[in-house]
């Protein structure tokens, strides 16, 4: 009876130990599983954090690029605005230039007839004027006429030449000048020295100093003067040639002007 009880106790103890061993084994397994899950969760968390960090870095990079693009866009906007202002000014200048070209074309159409009238008027004036250097002056008129018809010469150059011709004719009226020429007196061609004093007097004297004469406006021809003018004309010629000083009064023939119009010379 006692042995049975001991056996039962022993069996009970053994069973209890087995149960306890079984319970300990089950707890260790669950703990290991829990630890494994925790480790797995930690790894997942670390991987998630890495992905989050990578995403944050990408966002920061994209944000920096976005800000940089915004600055570039702002700079381009300012630059484009400046270019637009320049284009607007250039368009205005082009419009002004186009308008100026139209005005120049209009002025050119008006200036050409004006220059032709000026040349014709100067030719008439020369024909009416005292006949000093007449061939030379009329040759200049012919050159001006040819210039007016030349399409290769700019209008500004044509006007300059016309103005220069007028200036030369103006100078002729202010200065005395002596030059060599041929004059026809009573049907005879004489080699003479001619003196014009502005447009007041036009006289001549032969090279030997024996014959003197003047241009007669009324007769529109050369006439011979008496010997009383010979010395004065000789001195006046030397003064004009800068061979003598203009330090004395000289008696020279002055022909009174006559009334007339430019039309009489045509």
Would residue 241 count as lying in a domain?
yes
What's the rounded mean pLDDT across residues 83-93? Answer: 89
Q: What is the reported pLDDT for 26?
A: 58
Instruction: With respect to residue 208, please indicate whether it lies within any of the assigned structural domains.
Output: yes
Domain membership flag for residue 245 = yes
What is the arithmetic mean of pLDDT over 126-133?
A: 92
Contact 130, 199 (CB under 8 A): yes
Residues 236 and 176 sit within 8 Å (Cβ to Cβ): yes
In a domain, 200, yes or no: yes
pLDDT tens-place string over residues 196-253: 998 888 999 999 889 999 999 888 899 999 999 999 999 999 998 888 887 777 778 8
Range 128-135, long-range pairs (CB < 8 A, 24+ positions): 128/260, 128/262, 128/264, 128/265, 129/199, 130/196, 130/199, 130/202, 130/215, 130/217, 131/202, 131/215, 132/172, 132/177, 132/179, 132/194, 132/196, 132/202, 133/179, 133/181
Q: Is residue 7 part of a domain?
A: no
What is the model's pTM? Answer: 0.58
In a domain, 49, yes or no: no
Domain that includes residue 195, residue range: 177-266
> Do residues 213 and 185 make contact, with C-beta atoms less than 8 angstroms apart?
yes
**Where residue 44 falls among pLDDT bands split at 50, 70, 90?**
confident
pLDDT exceeds cutoff 90 at 140: yes
3-state secondary structure of 200: coil
Residue 74 lies in a domain: no
Residue 11 has pLDDT above 60, yes or no: no
pLDDT at 9 over 60: no
Total domains, the chain? 1
With respect to residue 106, please indicate whether it lies within any of the assigned structural domains. Answer: no
């Amino acid at each position: 009876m006692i042995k049975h009880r001991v056996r039962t106790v022993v069996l009970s103890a053994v069973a209890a130990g087995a149960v306890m061993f079984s319970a300990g084994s089950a707890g260790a397994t669950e703990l290991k599983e829990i630890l494994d899950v925790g480790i797995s969760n930690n790894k997942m968390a670390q991987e998630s954090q890495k992905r989050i960090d990578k995403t944050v870095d990408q966002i920061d990079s994209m944000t920096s690029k976005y800000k940089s693009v915004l600055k570039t866009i702002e700079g381009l906007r300012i630059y484009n605005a400046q270019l637009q202002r320049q284009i607007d000014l250039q368009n205005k200048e082009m419009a002004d230039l186009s308008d100026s070209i139209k005005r120049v074309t209009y002025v050119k159409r008006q200036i050409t007839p004006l220059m032709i009238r000026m040349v014709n008027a100067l030719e008439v004036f020369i024909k009416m004027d005292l006949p000093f250097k007449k061939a030379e002056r009329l040759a200049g008129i012919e050159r001006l006429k040819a210039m007016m018809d030349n399409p290769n010469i700019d209008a500004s150059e044509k006007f300059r030449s016309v103005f220069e011709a007028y200036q030369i004719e103006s100078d002729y009226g202010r200065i005395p000048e002596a030059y060599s020429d041929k004059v026809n007196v009573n049907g005879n061609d004489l080699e003479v020295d001619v003196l014009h004093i502005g447009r007041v007097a036009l006289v001549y004297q032969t090279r030997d100093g024996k014959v003197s004469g003047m241009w007669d406006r009324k007769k529109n021809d050369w006439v011979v003067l008496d010997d009383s003018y010979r010395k004065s004309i000789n001195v006046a010629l030397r003064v004009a040639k800068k061979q003598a000083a203009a330090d004395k009064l000289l008696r020279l023939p002055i022909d009174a002007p006559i009334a007339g119009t430019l039309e009489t010379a045509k």
